[in-house]
Structure 1
Amino acid sequence: MSLRTGPDPRAGAGRRRTGTTGNPVLRARTVPARIRSALREFSEHSPSRFAILVFGGLIVLFTVLFSLPISSAEGRVTNFVDSLFTAVSVICVTGLSTVDMATHWSPFGHALIYIGVNIGALGVLTLASILGLVISRRLGLRAKLIAASDTNPLRMHHGPVAEGQAVRLGEIGGLLVTVAVSALVIEVGLALLLFPRMLADGIPPLTAAWESLYYSAMAFTNTGFSPNAEGLAPFANDYFFLSVLMIGVFLGSIGFPVIYTFTRSIKARRRRDRAGKPARWSVHVKLTLVTSLLLFVVGAVLYLVLEFDNPGSFGSLNAGDTVFQSFFLSMMTRSGGFSTFDISQLNGSSLLVTDMLMFIGGGSASTAGGIKVTTLAVLFLAAFAEARGVQDMEAFGRRIPSDVLRLAVSVVLWGATTVAVSTVVVLQITKAPLDYVLFDVISAFATSGLSTGLTASASEPAQVVIAITMFMGRVGTVTLAAALAASERRQLFKRPEERPIVG
């Protein structure tokens, strides 16, 4: 064994590494990496909080942009409450407003609205997942779980998920691509249908091109803003135009997992597998489609019966027009936000029906709001199972586990509590009639966008409460569901059982 008396080369290497680390220039270069690492760690450990942070940051950004003079048609600074309310309504794809959206904003302001609704339509956790992908530069397991929990909060379980999923975990990357591509394709397709119709009505080509894109985005995102001051009044009798809007609202409200399933089914039909069997639709897809169509028809029938003799709505229309307008209103109430007449003219019974339809909303992971149609379907399946004396909930030959029911009950209670508290506060501030306050509060929570006119005429404190309700409705239900699913833990003991009296 030989002994070295000279300097140890490893020590020099260590000194070189230490010197490099101590270099302030090189250390400054690592600041973005440190920020990226911190954001990645936060998004992985607290996906629900990260989602709220993302949406909150977008609202702050758009509030600042809407307050700029360049965003106003008059070149003036828009006051804080109007800018904040518009930013929340745009990012949460609600459609309520405190200003005339068509005349108050400049072309730059309308461009912000167009961009904002398309960003907000992606979904809370989906948007957080995409941002996490940008930050971490890869789609890891936790990022997939964040995105998957937007399609189904049960994905946030620490253990295996005990049900068939609309989208498998390994397909989340394909789902994110489908979200972006389907939004683009559907909106462009709707615009191509609307553009020649607008040209036929004498609208200049450039204006027709912009308004067709605007209307297509507002239909697919279920927002309901109109680019012209007259709203839908010029197209109230144009059933082709209104039908295109209905198609856009329906495609946006069924949810991206359902659209993804449609694309897989089309591909499977083009290239059948070796056994020649087509792709099977999940229970989620079937429940979404069946419940949505059932609510669409039931809503139309109710409006037809309740409004056929109301001069403020359908009273002056013939039978065919009344039927079509009933279906149009039924489609718009569950989140579309468009209307061909003044909603405040509806009968009280129709306002109550609209409240219920808005509260239900559209499909999970869609551009629509509300408690979601599958939540309602699960509750009814549980009630039917109890009435038959059957222990398990079943649908389409599949058993639905009890944890899905607990999650559905939690979402409904969260929504009902939010609506109740907001209604009481707004009632106390405005002293307005209960049916009008309840209507606008539910519209805000369910991101429907229909209004009796209360929101625009209310005081600023009431408008702030409604803005908070919009945020809670868009962010609260899905993040609450994800948090509840993620917080489930195993308990190694059971307490003595005792049954309280129910009913």
Structure 2
Amino acid sequence: MQAHDADGQEKTSRMKSLLHPTRAVALGFLIAIFVGTSLLMLPLSHAEGQAAPWLVAFFTAVSAVCVTGLVVVDTGTYWSTFGQSVIMVLFQIGGFGMMTAATLLGLMVNRSLRLRTKLITQVETHTLGLGDVSSVAKLVLVVTFVAELVVAAFLALRLHFGHDLPWTEALWSGLFHAVSAFNNAGFSIHPDSLMRYATDALILLPVMMAIVVGGIGFPVLHDLRFKVRDPRHWSLHTKLTLLGTGILLITGFVAVLMFEWTNPKTLGVMSMPEKLLSAAFASVSARTAGFNSIDIGALTHESWALHYFLMFVGGGSAGTAGGVKVGTVAILALLVIAEIRGHSDSEAFGRRVGPSAQRQAITVLVLGSAMVVLGTLVILRTTDFPTDQVIFEVISAFGTVGLSTGITAELPASGQLMLTLLMYFGRVGTITLAASLVSGERRMPYRYAEEHPIVG
């Protein structure tokens, strides 16, 4: 009887291990990818009624579920309306699913932390409670679909009245691009992405708004929704994310203007207002959205280097954006500032950043950098493309951005498969890694003697 009970407890323990939230998220994305691949391989999904090659379908499904936007075929002409609908559903699931999963994972982690903290600490940190789980999911759902429908309506009206598209085309194009923008997916049914609308502010501005709202992260939206009247009550995460986002957007905007002002292939032929609009859009889109209104392949090498940084950082945590996240970089910046000043604590806005968060930020940055280096070496080994183009492609995949200098479809199968791994780990790996680090944290009953190895 005892042996039977022991076996039952062991099976229960194994089941709980398999259903650990981090594993469930990773498994859920894999299932969505394989279902999407199967649907895209159907003749119904192909514009000419034939079965798509498995690698094309698999790459497209991974890119859609991981809300990246890298493609090996033209979405608008290669796939039928059904195929395009499958792709849209996939990046809707990928964006909404990750935003919801990341938020709920954060809540579960916070529960374990709260069990070890006092009530006053809960009040000071302004974190969400587990009792809010249902309202959390509802708010994410409402924000997602309201934002998408509003942007879709704006785009459809503009496409019909401003660009003379029939209502059916305008509605479909507006909906597809609105969902793609909010989920930071970067998929477009136009072969030139949004370059044909490079001078149309009524198209680019709604898309930019959707990108920012979807990519800034749900915890920030929660604070803005419920505590907007008193910024003093915003969490440190919200303040760091908003500050970091503002700095990156302005820096990207100014740098693109500076690097591309006289480039005849990008901003050089535009008027002043058009240059400002295109530079702003490029800065926003580089933060993992993946749309482009100017030719990425024609950018200067300085602009490519700028994109390396913006794509790698990405957007806010628990949102639809990828990258190592703004909050991660902000924490590391505070750590560097504290070290330079000789302070023992990293501080901002009257709050101290805990050592656990600092370790997690360093780990995420190191592992992310390692993935980029590994992907670059693998693809360079199998192709003859210039190193700067390969680095751009790799960071775009890992950051789930979707921007490309135009070499994605020309990569060999091994290179494309490497990109799918980067997209998957970039989309799922960092957030599940962070959750695993926090949920697995425990105090050791002993500490070793301290030494100080030489640094620098």
Give the TM-score, by structure 2 length: 0.92
Residue 34 of structure 1 corresponds to: none
Residue 359 of structure 2 corresponds to: 406
2:406 aligned with 1:453, yes or no? yes
Aligned alpha-carbon RMSD (Å): 2.3
Residue 389 of structure 1 corresponds to: 342
Give the TM-score, by structure 1 length: 0.83
Residue 160 of structure 1 corresponds to: 116
Does the CA contact (< 8 Å) of 1:42 and 1:50 recur in 2? no
Residue 316 of structure 1 corresponds to: 269
**CA distance in 1 between partners of 2:98 and 2:150 (Å):** 25
Residue 224 of structure 1 corresponds to: 186
Letter aligned with residue 116 of structure 1: L
2:449 aligned with 1:496, yes or no? yes
- Aligned positions of 1:272-421 closer than 5 A: 280-421=233-374
Residue 108 of structure 1 corresponds to: 82
2:79 aligned with 1:126, yes or no? no
- Aligned residue among 127, 136, 146 for 1:175: 136
**CA distance in 2 between partners of 1:60 and 1:427 (Å):** 28
Shift of 1:97: 0.6
Does the CA contact (< 8 Å) of 2:40 and 2:83 recur in 1? yes
**CA distance in 2 between partners of 1:323 and 1:452 (Å):** 22
Letter aligned with residue 486 of structure 1: S
Alpha-carbon distance change, 363 to 176 in structure 1, aligned in 2, over 3 angstroms: same
Shift of 1:380: 0.6
Shift of 1:153: 5.9
**CA distance in 1 between partners of 2:37 and 2:270 (Å):** 42
**CA distance in 1 between partners of 2:104 and 2:130 (Å):** 7
Alpha-carbon distance change, 166 to 209 in structure 1, aligned in 2, over 3 angstroms: farther
Give the percent of matched residue pairs that are identical in Structure 1 and Structure 2.
Answer: 39
Gaps in structure 2 of 5+ consecutive residues: 1-10
Residue 437 of structure 1 corresponds to: 390
Shift of 1:322: 1.7
Shift of 1:82: 0.6
Does the CA contact (< 8 Å) of 2:46 and 2:78 recur in 1? yes
Aligned partner of residue 399 in structure 1, secondary structure: strand
Residue 429 of structure 2 corresponds to: 476
Gaps in structure 1 of 5+ consecutive residues: 1-36, 128-145, 270-276
Deviation sequence 1:290-324 (CA, Å, 0-9, x none): 11011000111111111111112111123332222
Aligned partner of residue 347 in structure 2, secondary structure: strand
Residue 18 of structure 1 corresponds to: none
Does the CA contact (< 8 Å) of 2:76 and 2:189 recur in 1? yes
Aligned partner of residue 394 in structure 1, secondary structure: strand
Letter aligned with residue 116 of structure 2: P
- Aligned residue among 217, 220, 226 for 1:258: 220
Worse overlay, 341-350 or 434-443: 341-350
Residue 148 of structure 1 corresponds to: 104
Letter aligned with residue 189 of structure 1: V
Shift of 1:151: 6.8
Aligned partner of residue 443 in structure 2, secondary structure: coil
Shift of 1:124: 3.6
Aligned length: 441
Residue 136 of structure 1 corresponds to: none
**CA distance in 2 between partners of 1:380 and 1:151 (Å):** 26
- Aligned residue among 161, 168, 176 for 1:214: 176
Residue 54 of structure 1 corresponds to: 28
Aligned partner of residue 338 in structure 1, secondary structure: coil
Shift of 1:259: 1.5
Shift of 1:258: 1.4
